Structure 1
Amino acid sequence: MFQGEIAALSAAGLWAFATLMFGRLGKQLPPLVLNLVKGAMAIGLIVLTLAVRQQLLASLPIRSVVLLLVSGVVGIGLGDTAYFATVNALGARRALLLEMLAPPMAALMSLIFLQEQLAVVAWVGMALTIGGIVWVVSERSPKAEGTGSPMGVIFGIMAALGQSIGSVLSRAALADTVVDPLWSSLLRLSAGLVCIGGLLLWRRQTVAPNGIRFSSRLLGGVAIAAFFGTYLAIWLQQIALKHSPAGIAQSLLATSPIMVLPMALIIGERVTPRAICGAVVALLGIWLLFSH
């Protein structure tokens, strides 16, 4: 029971950890390059896992394959790159705030295109979850982040739209089909990687721009972040989208800012009463999502 919901929360926890690392790595690597490198590493891990599980050969429905490839281009190739650009322009806190547009977008798209009806209690739970997260991430930080540029806001909206479209397409490809979430992860990441490579060529940007040195320490950091934040997290995300409605899955996947709070306490950072209250509200929303 609740296999999709548990997978979504697990993915959110991994993304919270990886976000802390991507925030530091983003200062050393441009968004497209970071997205390309971590995606390539994750694909290698997925292929290795499929080989170990003896699932490298699979018969997949053509419709699902097409939906997943488009989902990868929109959600990973364009959406993730726009998100990294938002973090660079606005800072992580405001980028996460704009990302909260994704769950209601996904729920509405699922209602329109997939006819996924949610109970009233599920909508209330979604609203409380998103409200609690917004309360946490909208708190003023003593450290100024980003410049607040209009382009940063545009990138943030694009990132949320890409995430929601990618989620709905994945849900359409996975629900009531025999497609394994690991295979859907491989297809989405591969399509996203091709898209990123195309963007790099279009911008005439090399994988190693001038001034960037791929030291063993830098590659090690990207590898760790890719393992937890891409390989495992996207696998769990696909499990969540296979077993739960897109709106609910996206709401639970968006709880990363709440997951960051205990991590902040562990490393000795101060957590404010407002952040704790926001977390409690979000947890109440999560409880309603599990009880719908």
Structure 2
Amino acid sequence: MQIIFNIFLNIPLTDFKGEVAALLAAGFWAVASVVYGRLGQRIPPLQLNLLKGIIAIALLTITIFVRREFFPILTIVPLCLLLLSGIIGIGLGDLAFLAAINSFGARRTLLMGTLAPPMTAIIAQIFLQEKLNVNAWCGILLTIVGVAWVVTERLPDSSDNSSTQLSRGIGFGLLAAIANAIGGVLSRAALANTSIPPLWASLFRLIAGVLILLPLVWLSWRRGRIILSELQSTRVILATFFAAFCGTYLGIWLQQTAIKYTPAGIALTLLQTSPLFIMPLAICIGEKVSFRAIAGAVIAIAGIALLFYLR
């Protein structure tokens, strides 16, 4: 992980450490989302969210031990903010996100996720007094439009969802976007004026997110809704580990770095560019990328440029 930052951050991009971290996180989430979409067909969202959280906690703990990062000195308020951020953003937000994917697919779910940046910016302005100038707002809007245009394109082999599935997907997608926005602002409030390392912040958030899931898992177990047979498959276990490593371990670590060094509205906007990173993956596996997809990417990149250089 340190090698990644040595390559990308020890050059003129140093002033944009948070922005680079956000884009790296978006890239890793794009890879993980492809895997989660497949895993969601075999493992329920609640179990999948718990499994990826446990794997990421183990990886972060090992990383902290190897890097010899001592337990940070924390006051009660930042710690509570981080834990609450984990409960809302990871525990409930990721659960809603995975449920939305199962209900009406990753494409529409990613579209719903683009609602998080404006929510975050508004919440941050109200509670954190973070001021975004006109250029920043234009960049946020342009990025959202570009990403939305990419993910809302109708695929040739797509089929319509039933009204029930569509309603469930919209509901879960909205919940995920709201949880993402609130979790981002809470993390920003905890990290902005403290020296909490992103690794420890990520670990605290993940622990809180996993703990809030345990009662839900227990209730599902009592009702016979826990599926254990799929966990006996080596391929499923390896795929879950890979997705958790990319999307949860690296993704959340980079996310916390972005939130610490960048205003919440800008960080959450860049963190929502995952749909753009999916296009190269699609080309690699032989899928056709349309003009609309390319044009949407150009629009989103123009918005990112506004955020980088004219904020």
TM tier, shorter chain? over 0.9
Instruction: Report if aligned partners of 2:72, 2:197 keep a CA contact under 8 Å in 1.
Output: no
Structure 2 residue 266 is the aligned partner of structure 1 residue 223 = no
Structure 2 residue 255 is the aligned partner of structure 1 residue 232 = no
Structure 2 residue 202 is the aligned partner of structure 1 residue 185 = yes
Match of 1:280 among 298, 305, 308: 298
Structure 2 residue 94 is the aligned partner of structure 1 residue 94 = no
Report the equivalent of 2:282.
Answer: 264
How many Å apart are 1:146 and its aligned residue?
4.4
In percent, how many aligned pairs have the same letter? 51
Instruction: Report if aligned partners of 1:68, 1:187 keep a CA contact under 8 Å in 2.
Output: yes
Q: Which digits, 9 at most, give the CA deviation of each residue in 1:52-88, with x for residues without a partner? A: 1112433222211100100000001101000110111
The CA distance in 1 between the partners of 2:223 and 2:63, in whole Å, is: 32
Question: What RMSD over aligned residues (CA atoms) do the two structures have, in Å?
Answer: 1.4
| Counterpart residue type for residue 199 of structure 1 | L
Q: What TM-score do the two structures reach when normalised by structure 1?
A: 0.97
The CA distance in 1 between the partners of 2:93 and 2:160, in whole Å, is: 21
Q: Size of the alignment, in residue pairs?
A: 292
Give the 3 Å change call, closer, same or farther, for CA 60–145 of structure 1 in structure 2.
farther
Match of 2:149 among 135, 141, 163: 135
Query: For residues 156-175 of structure 1, what are the structure 2 equivalents within 5 Å?
Result: 156-175=173-192
Give the 3 Å change call, closer, same or farther, for CA 116–9 of structure 1 in structure 2.
same
Query: For residues 23-172 of structure 1, what are the structure 2 equivalents within 5 Å?
Result: 23-142=37-156, 143-144=158-159, 146-147=161-162, 148-172=165-189
The CA distance in 2 between the partners of 1:262 and 1:40, in whole Å, is: 30
| Counterpart residue type for residue 113 of structure 1 | F
Q: What TM-score do the two structures reach when normalised by structure 2?
A: 0.91
Q: Which runs of 5+ in 1 are unaligned?
A: none
Report the equivalent of 2:9.
Answer: none
| Counterpart residue type for residue 78 of structure 1 | L
| Counterpart residue type for residue 44 of structure 1 | A
Instruction: Report if aligned partners of 2:231, 2:237 keep a CA contact under 8 Å in 1.
Output: no
The CA distance in 2 between the partners of 1:180 and 1:272, in whole Å, is: 42
Instruction: Report if aligned partners of 1:103, 1:164 keep a CA contact under 8 Å in 2.
Output: yes
Report the equivalent of 1:197.
Answer: 214
| Counterpart residue type for residue 249 of structure 2 | Y
| Counterpart residue type for residue 159 of structure 1 | A
* Bigger mean CA deviation after superposition, 39-48 or 58-67: 58-67
Structure 2 residue 230 is the aligned partner of structure 1 residue 212 = yes
How many Å apart are 1:97 and its aligned residue?
1.1
| Counterpart residue type for residue 195 of structure 2 | V
Give the 3 Å change call, closer, same or farther, for CA 235–146 of structure 1 in structure 2.
farther
| Counterpart residue type for residue 201 of structure 2 | S
* Bigger mean CA deviation after superposition, 108-117 or 197-206: 197-206
Q: Which digits, 9 at most, give the CA deviation of each residue in 1:250-280, with x for residues without a partner? A: 0000000001111111111100000000000
Q: Where in structure 1 do 4 or more consecutive aligned residues deviate above 6 Å? A: none
The CA distance in 2 between the partners of 1:281 and 1:186, in whole Å, is: 35
| Counterpart residue type for residue 90 of structure 1 | F
| Counterpart residue type for residue 204 of structure 2 | L
Instruction: Report if aligned partners of 2:230, 2:236 keep a CA contact under 8 Å in 1.
Output: no
| SS state at 2:154 partner | coil
The CA distance in 1 between the partners of 2:93 and 2:268, in whole Å, is: 14
| Counterpart residue type for residue 96 of structure 2 | A
Structure 2 residue 259 is the aligned partner of structure 1 residue 244 = no
The CA distance in 2 between the partners of 1:235 and 1:198, in whole Å, is: 26
How many Å apart are 1:156 and its aligned residue?
0.9
